[in-house]
Amino acid sequence: AALAASYEPGRHHYPGIRAPLPGDYFDAVRPPLSLVLREVFGASGIDLIDASFSIVTTPPAALTIAQRIP
């Protein structure tokens, strides 16, 4: 899916390119991810805020301080 995706420049100061995930991605990963988050962190549920295929293309020396924060 990542190879076939259409990438475009990232927004909101993202230092690279991004592409949307397949529409059914979270249908497949939500059940096991919810289980792990509940067992490890005690989370009662999860909400998707933002998710995409993302590739940093900016050289490390050109990143701003905010872009270096994980």
Secondary structure of 46-67 as H, E, C letters: CCCCCCEEEEECCCHHHCCHHH
CA 34 to chain centre: 17
pLDDT at 37: 92
* pLDDT tens per residue, range 19-38: 999 989 888 988 999 999 99
Residue type, 57: T
Residue type, 6: S
Give me the residue label for tokens 């230092």.
Answer: 15
The pLDDT confidence band at residue 51, using thresholds 50, 70 and 90, is confident
The pLDDT confidence band at residue 11, using thresholds 50, 70 and 90, is confident
Give me the residue label for tokens 């994980």.
Answer: 70
